[in-house]
Homo-oligomer: A and B are copies of this chain.
Amino acid sequence: MADDKVMLGHGSGGSMMKRIIDEVFFEAYGSDELLRGDDAAVLPALAPGERLAYSTDSFVVTPHFFPGGDIGRLAVCGTVNDVATSGARPLYLSCAFVLEEGFPMDDLRRICASMAEAAREANVRFVTGDTKVVNRGHGDGIYINTSGVGALAPGVNLGGAQIRPGDAVLVTGTLGDHGITIMSCREGLNFSADIESDAAPLNHLIADVLAAAPNTRCFRDPTRGGIASTLNELAAQSNTDITIDEEAVPVRDAVLGACEMLGYDVMQVANEGKMVCVVAADEAEAALAAMRQSPYGRDAALIGAVAAADPTRGPKVFLRTAFGSTRILDMLVGEQLPRIC
């Protein structure tokens, strides 16, 4: 395609739009459904009794490219992971771009190639899409929305409300990598060569854990707000107290150092390739072993436990510190680090 920058006409509904669709999007991740060119994708019936799992996310991260990934990889992994938390097998993705006039076409191609690669890894395909172009100065290069649909087998019922006292709390790997990577790119800081985003599709890992630990209660993606917000949501949904052990939480030294220097609480920093997982205590070891067999779960750890909430004060999350004291771990209030995903 001759055009080296996105122009308003690429969002027109006319022949310029057809060109960017054919030569950029279909080239990267065309599927039978996309190529068919109707207004809606028609997809096969699921197996009898299979329910639908459905989720959406928009991605507005800056910079668009960063160590370990880019906005396209995030847009695939984020939605795949959200669908997978239900226990479903993610199958189909939608993809909608809001492009800013002047965005480099080569960057768009690179992002689309990254989306295609992440989709292949997750074994999902793009079946429907949309492209809008906004005038220069009214966007920020590229925003991507994806939504995802998955098939959920009968009898699988995961969710925060399933958590009960006595359960074990696991995490699939080190915390804070994504948030600190974005922050250091944006501010031009260079803490360490080995800090990079953890963006990854976790659907295969989740399926393995469910097979190994059928009494898994829930998975939750600790993205914005970090594990602190996630655990507070889970405690509220299940009306329980959750206590985690600071020393058990896996954090890379370089990430911890960056957090200390910047005054961030790593428990509130975003992750894009990690899951918090709550399981029946007697299946914790089996779940951990399954996680550690995945390339994305090698640093998985048991980090805490669930107890009944004190009815006089409601559900709380506690952090037992390295010094043996215990403090309340609150949800993030406002914004620590905008636009990390």
Contact = CB atoms under 8 A, between A and B. Distances in A.
A136 to B, nearest CB: 11
A339 B229 contact: no
A16 B334 contact: yes
A312 B84 CA distance: 51
Given A224-B11, A331-B14, A332-B12, A128 B58 contact: no
B55 A85 contact: no
Interface in A11-67: 11-18, 36-46, 48-60
Q: How many copies does the complex hold?
A: 2
B135 A338 contact: yes
A331 B43 CA distance: 29
A44 B37 CA distance: 28
A205 to B, nearest CB: 15
Contact of A98 (B60, B130, B223, B270): B60
B13 A55 contact: no
Interface stretch (A144-152, A242-250, A254-262): A144-152
A8 interface: yes
Contact of A51 (B14, B43, B53): B43
A233 interface: yes
A15 B333 contact: yes
A282 B139 CA distance: 49
Contacts of A98: 58, 60, 98, 143
Contacts of A60: 98, 132, 134
A135 B152 CA distance: 37
B335 A130 contact: no
Contact of A54 (B41, B137, B138, B229): B41
Q: Is the interface of A mostly helix, strand, loop or mixed?
A: mixed
Contacts of A55: 39-41, 94, 128
Contacts of A137: 137
A224 to B, nearest CB: 3
A82 interface: yes
A339 B135 contact: yes
A129 B39 contact: no
B53 A96 contact: no
A41 B333 CA distance: 25
A83 B334 contact: no
B338 A52 contact: no
Given A54-B92, A139-B139, A331 B15 contact: yes
Given A53-B42, A133-B338, A58 B139 contact: no
Going nearest first, the 5 A-B pairs with the smallest beta carbon separation are: A13-B224, A13-B225, A14-B332, A9-B334, A56-B94
Given A36-B161, A41-B54, A45-B51, 20 more contacts: A12-B224, A12-B225, A13-B270, A14-B268, A17-B224, A18-B331, A37-B233, A38-B85, A39-B81, A40-B84, A42-B51, A42-B159, A45-B46, A45-B48, A54-B128, A55-B94, A58-B130, A59-B132, A98-B98, A128-B147
